[in-house]
Chain A
Amino acid sequence: MSSTTNSYFYPVLEDDRFDYIDTSIYEVEQVTDNSYGKQTDDSIILKYKIDGDNLISQLLNDGEAKFVCTTVVKSTMYRETISDYLKVISPVEVVQVIPLQDTLEVQQFSPMIIYIGEDKDIILNSDKMGLDDFWDKKKITLYKGSILAKDGWRESEHSASDLLSIQKDDSKDYDFDVVIDPREGGRFVAKVKPELFDNLNKFRLGSNSNKAHFNSIITHMLSVGFTKLREEYKDGGSDDLSNFNAIKRKLKSEDLTTWEEDGFNPNEVACHFLPHKLIIEDDENE
């Protein structure tokens, strides 16, 4: 996501803005190997870098700017801005650990570079500060906390199938039923009769044809889930269902119709989110 409005009174390095020349690059990368310590389930590691000689790299070198990351889990009202570094490779390249909350809800991250010096006036020099000519000789005031660079909001990876949880239900005398559990950002819960539950476990680990059968049943469950989502939330009211909202954004970004729009096809959307990563619960109740 990037800002579509020019609401800054000083240059900002951000996608779709042209304040800095092309050689100024703000990189944010998730570290997926163990090069900065063993990966754990309760955190992610982000590596940040500023390329080029520009105003931001100069402020970082002078200790007047800092890489930070704001992280949010919406329904729990958790929001924190992380500013500690795990490793300083150089003043313009650092590594940060971002804690993950123990929830099934999608967690959001917004990496930024912030000015941390005292309020000060600067007369900009485009050649020396890597800026577009527009800013040359302009006088600006940098206030403590000013956002110098923005990477936009990122989300913990989810696919629709991450949102399906399967529970054995002894009371079911038909194959399965899907309900929407609004807790922790929302998810589908498929309650399945014991025979089907046992078979799903066998199919999941069996031959390719068994896996295909497994996928087909799961797709069917997702399709029922999306149909229910449409029934209950066609007219909105799903603001707190952050997980489904993440799927909604994904559908929009891929030009697919969402459950709030005419022409929504639950089956098409369910098929779109293969392959599946599933939580299968042993207990009949949560």
Chain B
Amino acid sequence: MNEGFEKLRKFTKAKDKEECKKLLKASLEKDSFILYIENIINDENFYENVDFSLFDEPLSEGEYRQLHHRYHYPKLWKTLGEEKFSTYDALNPEIWLSITMQAIKNEIIHPTYLAYDSSKEKVEGLSEIDLALKSLDDDKIVGKKNIPMWLQVSRTILRHMFGAIQERGIKGIFQDVPFAMAWRRMSLAKQISKNIGIDETKIIKYLLENPTNYNDLVEKMGGKLTIIADKNIRDGLFKYILDKNVAIKSTDDFRNLTKRIGIESTWRGMGILSPDENKEIIGKLKI
């Protein structure tokens, strides 16, 4: 494990204003950003863990925030597939840092993109960085929960590079890193499609159009409710929610449904039942 990465992972937690200032200033330009991060990482072999050069399509900031499932997803899958990318690789924050850095080096994305705030659809990352730089000399410029803007934006930049793993654990990777989110959606869709024959695109579109449901799924599969990760249960759930007569879209309904599956599983071994049987059981749960 790289010691520089450890430093990067921790400095926003320590609220190191000087270091945040350096990060923010560096992120305005490609070369300064690469120099800044590489100085911290201080490892000439850092990029050897994965080769991202096959992904050769430059992205706009909007495309980076939400990679297009038809154009970019297959390219990402092919690029990482060529690298025999495994689930364990996908859980490695250093690999996503490497991928993001290579995307910057290869001019696929610009470092200012990393500062985007997912709750502000029309505000670009560059504006967030400008505001964060101003906040270094103005305590009144604060972000959510009154956190100084320089700290909030610094955290955002790092979170989009390799996930907020200090705060939310490894599963944060699949909720924060745009490339990782795309990979995870595609990986889930491929597994489910292979098992039960539902069209892969239909699954990906559902996960894209219902981002909070996707987040809930990732949270639960890797958290306390691993029951949802059991393939017979997961596939039964997707059979149910994608049924045109059901179409579970609302976040509350989705959350309640997964919670109810958790309760049902305390007395029922749903993992041994087929996806069709589980679909029927799930359909009878009250949400």
Residues of A in contact with B (beta carbons under 8 Å apart): 3, 7-9, 66, 68, 70, 72, 74-81, 83, 103, 112, 114, 116, 143-147, 179, 181-184, 189, 237-241, 285-286
Name the residue on A nearest B269 (C-beta): A114
Q: With the chains together, A31 CA to B226 CA distance in Å?
A: 27
Chain B nearest CB from A286 CB (Å) reads 7
Q: Does B3 contact A (CB under 8 A)?
A: yes
Q: Which of B1, B221, B281 contacts A181 (CB 8 A)?
A: B1
Contact: A74 with B271, CB < 8 Å? no
The 7 tightest CB contacts between A and B, nearest first, are: A81-B271, A240-B169, A114-B269, A79-B229, A145-B268, A77-B221, A77-B229
Please list 25 pairs of residues, one from A and one from B, whose beta carbons are closer than 8 Å in the complex, sorted by A's number: A8-B267, A66-B272, A70-B271, A74-B222, A76-B88, A76-B91, A78-B87, A79-B229, A80-B230, A81-B271, A83-B272, A103-B88, A112-B269, A144-B273, A145-B272, A145-B273, A147-B267, A147-B269, A179-B1, A182-B93, A182-B165, A182-B170, A237-B166, A239-B223, A286-B1
Q: With the chains together, A15 CA to B203 CA distance in Å?
A: 41
Contact: B169 with A179, CB < 8 Å? no
Which chain A positions have C-beta within 8 A of B21? none
Q: When each residue 1-45 of chain B gets 1 if its CB lies under 8 Å from chain A and 0 otherwise, what string results?
A: 101001000000000000000000000000000000000000001
Contact: A80 with B281, CB < 8 Å? no
Which chain B positions have C-beta within 8 A of A77? 87, 221-222, 226, 229
Contact: B269 with A68, CB < 8 Å? yes
Q: With the chains together, A79 CA to B226 CA distance in Å?
A: 7
Among B88, B267, B269, B272: residue with most chain A CB under 10 A = B269
A-B contact count (CB 8 A): 95
Chain A nearest CB from B168 CB (Å) reads 8
Contact: A240 with B6, CB < 8 Å? no
Interface residues on B, range: 20 to 34
Contact: A7 with B269, CB < 8 Å? no
Chain B nearest CB from A52 CB (Å) reads 22
Which chain A positions have C-beta within 8 A of B171? 75, 240
Q: With the chains together, A132 CA to B49 CA distance in Å?
A: 60
Q: Does B167 contact A (CB under 8 A)?
A: yes
Q: Does B259 contact A (CB under 8 A)?
A: no
Contact: B222 with A70, CB < 8 Å? no
Contact: A179 with B269, CB < 8 Å? no
Q: With the chains together, A137 CA to B91 CA distance in Å?
A: 53
Contact: B230 with A70, CB < 8 Å? yes
Which chain B positions have C-beta within 8 A of A240? 165, 169-171, 222
A144 touching B88 in the complex, CB below 8 Å, given contacts A80-B231, A181-B1: no
Q: Does B232 contact A (CB under 8 A)?
A: yes
Q: B residues 212-251 with Cβ under 8 Å of A?
A: 221-223, 226-227, 229-232
Q: Which of B87, B88, B165, B271 contacts A80 (CB 8 A)?
A: B271
Beyond A145-B273, A240-B222: 11 further Cβ-contacts under 8 Å?
A: A72-B229, A77-B226, A79-B271, A81-B230, A114-B269, A143-B268, A144-B277, A145-B268, A146-B268, A189-B1, A240-B169
Which chain B positions have C-beta within 8 A of A189? 1
Contact: A75 with B272, CB < 8 Å? no
Q: With the chains together, A239 CA to B223 CA distance in Å?
A: 8
Q: Which of A72, A81, A143 contacts B232 (CB 8 A)?
A: A81
